[in-house]
Structure 1
Amino acid sequence: MSETFDLGQQLIDFLHHSPTPFHATEQMSLRLVDAGFERLELGQSWNLKAYGRYFLTRNDSSLVAFTCADQAYTEKGFRMVGAHTDSPCLRVKPNPELSQNGYFQLGVEVYGGVLLNPWFDRDLSLAGRVSFSTLDGKLDSALIDLRDPIAVIPSLAIHLDRDVNKNRSINPQTQLPPILSLCGDEQAPDFRAQLKQWLEAEHHKVDQVLDYELSFYDTQSPAKIGLKQEFLASARLDNLLSCFIGLNTLITNSDPKKQQAPCLLVCNDHEEVGSQTSSGAQGPLLETVLERILGDRESFTISMENSLMISADNAHGIHPNYADRHDGKHGPLLNAGPVIKLNNNQRYATNSETSALFRHLCEQVQVPCQSFVVRSDMACGSTIGPITAAEIGVRTLDIGVPTFGMHSIRELAGTDDLLYLQRALNQFMQLPKLPFC
């Protein structure tokens, strides 16, 4: 119970400081440095050492961290865990200023498959990356997180839309711009000028704000809820929960005395919009890193045959109010263990070998596990699992912690499942050799 409580509190702290993929990557980088990992740069030569611990980032929003063990990469292969740093949200447009009926608003673009209804009537703040020119003529960028609630998207009163509880559709162009302040008859404030003030308050020497990638987010803090505090409610559980547990597991297994085989964590950006970017799972990041570690293509191919990737991304728990949306035999419960995700049309990369191995690992550490298959008359989502498997040719397993409200501004998971997932991934990273290799 104490271990579960501590793990939940650590995740809450991580979520609180990670309102965007940029901030999540920064938080993971800080933890890796504290744990003794050395930062590498993709644009520089590497000098990897036996039992070395390393990490690198791309675009400030994706991260790869790995251990070298005894450098037997080809024979032993890698124990890899994959997750993603991005979550569906509302992003500020390049020319966002709106002045309508005396209110200052910002135009927003929907990022990913957002569940839009919960965004109304929330206390919103703003965070992300801003690029600017400095007073001495150089280009620089910085992360900002305002933390204070500065905006809201008010609902329309039921008196003005009597059918709202029967049929509600949302126009993202006209109905989602958040309200920031009153501006009367004046022109809307210059948003870039406002960004400059915020940056200068953080002691950045700014000449001109040139561009930005900024997201609105809910300021309500993550929290344990329920009569027994058996649930954890927060934004961005999909998929920062998996990033956090994967990071914990890698750090735990980075001690040279514990390392059985090289281990790797990859946390990609842009999963929610298709992964086809330089820092996404369909980009070259992971393959490039592995090729540089292994040295030549033949070693890469052999190593991938001796490796396994576990793609950890949240699963749909069976909702008691909507139980008919699940296959009756495949409805995962919260706090009943991680979920093996299967789809014969390859929307998930799990096969019988990889799922059998995961079940065996769970049995060894007394962790319950479950299965999810989407209803045969419904479309199935996907993950970085099939993409990664196709890109680097590695056996892959899709799993995830069961959650409610996926892609909402506030999602729900079980606190026991955090420890279950960590124990299972820890057992996986300690495997000296894969049984089917």
Structure 2
Amino acid sequence: MNIPDTARAQAQDLLDFIDASPSPWHAVATCEARLQAAGFSRLDEVDRWSLQPGGRHYVVRGGSAIVAFTVGRAPLAERGLVIVGAHTDSPGLRIKPKPADEASGLVRLGVEVYGGPILATFADRDLGLAGRVAMRSGNGVELRLVHLDEPLLRLPNLAIHMNREVNENGLKFNKQTELPLLLGIADGEPADRRFRAPLAERLGVDADALLTWELAACDTQKGSFWGVDREFIANGQLDNLASCHAALGALLATPEPEATCVVALFDHEEVGSESAVGAGGSLVGDLLARLAASQRLDAEDQKRMLARSFFISADMAHAWHPNFPAAYEPCHRVLVNAGPVIKSNANQRYCTDAASAARFIGFCERAGVPCQQYAHRTDLGCGSTIGPIVAARLGIPAVDVGSPMWAMHSVRESAGVLDHAYMTAALGAAFHG
């Protein structure tokens, strides 16, 4: 399969982006570094904003959600906005506030299941820790990012000799009793001290300075290419950091848009989005209100602005798996490396309608990339996205799209090299109008 060098370079940049972003807080920090390098300025929600045409800005909320935007040349009421939304979080195992426990001389860390991960994929993996820590400092309390990227934790499987039917019945874990992660030998120290020690060492502080944390178990294996022509990629968190990366790349490649262009990357999509940093919160609505105020739009013009706007919910899509053909709707088998996927659901699990689908098809045609359409098998439950949430709250036309992938919600997911380039180009076409 012929993979252009540009597509391979974009895929490598995606893998690097994910490797640098093992938690939602790291993902936002990675985005912020790229935005600053491109000349975007950070705004603080507590300040008054001055927003002028051509301005390139971003705002962070809660450390795990970020909205970046370029103010277009056209008046908001006459052209509206193009908004691409995605999410920074991925399913997995989150460390409890008091996680350390000793069992027969072994220290284990208690975890909560975040979202809907494929739990079996966490077994027998080299796991690290990533997230943020609240710690005492000279100025009170400081929040610091931390990433322990060496093999620190493990969830060893029970030997088949004690679980004879594992291959027939599948690998299952009791979420309370069988998921604690092994950290090490107690070695005569309190379990809590054994847990705090590597965090404190990495942060360069005393263990007693650590107050609390938001930490996730993360895979230590780096992203990679695979396949006979290296036409596929594998990494954790492709759902949904691949969409974040594509949206950000498209925005950075659109320096002087006619319409105001927005990329909104939310947290907590995997658990319902109802939080201050989730798509169910006020983050995008607050931004639109401040943009409207900057152009002195009255209530009538604000409604005109929304009516002329368009929202693209970018989240990954289920690629057809040749080993499990019965899991798919027969006429909606989307293929890896065959283009962005438009996702539809009659029960509004996705926000797509005929008009918005046709509009996105037009973006793909302008970008010169193929596109596909997906509907879930009728007798299987369908997942959802931020699309219906944001569309309902803002009242604007919207479409749900995504790049096809395998093993969604596994600790190690797979997707196509070409598809990432295709999605970035399609979103760029949307921003260019």
Same fold by TM-score, threshold 0.5 exceeded?
Answer: yes
Tell me the SS of whatever aligns to 2:85.
strand
Cα separation, 1, equivalents of 2:175 and 2:341: 33
Aligned positions of 1:55-70 closer than 5 A: 55-70=58-73
The corresponding residue for 1:317 is 319
1:102-141 to 2 correspondence within 5 Å? 102-134=105-137, 136=138, 138-141=140-143
1:124-273 aligned within 5 A: 124-134=127-137, 136=138, 138-168=140-170, 169-183=172-186, 187-190=190-193, 193-194=196-197, 197-201=200-204, 208-254=209-255, 256=256, 259-273=257-271
Distance in 1, Cα, partners of 2:251 & 2:12? 19
* Cα distance in 2, alignment partners of residues 12 and 86 from structure 1: 16
**1:139 CA drift (Å):** 1.2
Contact persistence 1:311–1:397 (CA under 8 A): yes
Which residue of the partner structure matches residue 374 of structure 2?
Answer: 372
- Runs of 5+ consecutive residues of structure 1 not aligned to the other structure: 432-437
In 1, Cα distance between equivalents of 2:188 and 2:35 = 51
How far apart in 1 are the matches of 2:157 and 2:288?
Answer: 49
Deviation by residue 1:231-285 (Cα, 9 ceiling, x = unmatched): 010000000000001000001102x3xx221100000000000000001000011
Match of 1:304 among 300, 303, 306: 306
Tell me by how many angstroms 1:184 deviates: 5.1
Q: Is the alpha carbon distance of 1:196 and 1:208 closer, same or farther for their aligned partners in structure 2, counting shifts above 3 Å? A: farther
Please give the alpha-carbon distance, in whole angstroms, between the structure 2 residues aligned to 1:263 and 1:200. 37
Q: 2:286 aligns with which of 285, 288, 304?
A: 288
Residue 6 of structure 2: SS of its match in structure 1? Answer: helix
Structure 2 stretches lacking a partner, 5+ long: none
RMSD of aligned Cα (Å): 1.5
String of CA shifts for 1:310-353, please: whole Å, max 9, x gaps: 10100000111111010100010000001000001100000000
Contact 1:199 1:206 in 2 (8 A): no
Q: C-alpha separation between the residues in 1 aligned to 2:37 and 2:365?
A: 33
- Aligned letter for 2:96? K
Q: 1:356 matched to which residue of 2?
A: 358
CA distance in 1, matches of 2:93, 2:299: 41
Match of 2:343 in 1: 341
Following the alignment from structure 2 to structure 1, what is the Cα–Cα distance between the partners of residues 213 and 198?
A: 9
Ranges of 4+ aligned residues in structure 1 off by more than 6 Å:
none
Between the aligned partners of 1:189 and 1:361, the Cα distance in structure 2 is 54
Cα distance change of structure 1 residues 137 and 261 upon mapping to structure 2, 3 Å threshold: closer
TM-score, structure 2 as length reference: 0.95
2:272 to 253, 271, 274: 274
Alignment of 1:24-43 (within 5 A): 24-43=27-46
Change (3 A) 1:355 1:173: same
Residue in 1 aligned with 2:75? Answer: 72
**Partners of 1:196 and 1:12 in 2: how far apart?**
25
- Percent sequence identity is 41
Q: Helix, strand or coil for the counterpart of 1:147?
A: strand
Shift of 1:185: 6.2
Question: 2:330 is paired with a residue of what secondary structure?
Answer: coil
Q: SS at 2:420's partner residue?
A: helix
- Give the whole-Å Cα distance in 2 for the aligned partners of 1:110 and 1:215: 10
Q: Deviation at 1:137?
A: 5.5
Could you say what secondary structure the match of 1:228 adopts?
A: coil
